[in-house]
Amino acid sequence: MLAAGLLSYAGFSALCLAMERHHQEMLGHRPSPSRKVQLRMAGWALLALSLWVSVLSAGWAMGLVRWTAVLMGSAVFLVWLLPYRPRWALALAAVGLLLGPLAAVAHW
């Protein structure tokens, strides 16, 4: 469940960075149109990967329930963190991107 949480947080952060306002706030410049598309694709791919990890670890029935809970938790955490510490949100997304696959591999 940790791996799914880290991956979903990173996915939501990528989707967040695909928006001009948040990209400007976190990185200091506006994203190019191609960068927006890349960030959107990466965000949805990370969310799909978190679903896959969750279903593999708990089966379809409980995996979907756990994935929904993880999605809500990571989204609330990101929304809470963005107005106060946007740089921390970006750093935690990088940590989630690095440690999420490691946690998934360590589970098996």
Place of tokens 């306002």: 21
- Residue 31, helix vs strand vs coil: coil
For the chain, the structural domain boundaries read 2-107
88's tokens: 């921390």
| Dihedral, 65, 104, 83, 75 alpha carbons, nearest 10 | -10
What sign for the dihedral angle of Cα 68, 71, 75, 78?
Answer: positive
Segments of the chain scoring below 70 in pLDDT: 107-108
- Tell me how far apart the alpha carbons of residues 57 and 63 are, in angstroms, rounded to a whole number: 7
Q: What pLDDT was estimated at residue 43? A: 96
CB of 3 within 8 A of CB of 107? yes
Q: What pLDDT was estimated at residue 1? A: 85
Task: Give the contacts of 75 (CB within 8 A, at least 6 positions apart).
Answer: 8, 12
Q: What pLDDT was estimated at residue 107? A: 67
Q: Model-level pTM greater than 0.75?
A: yes
Q: What pLDDT was estimated at residue 96? A: 86
Q: What pLDDT was estimated at residue 20? A: 92
- What is the identity of the amino acid at 72? M
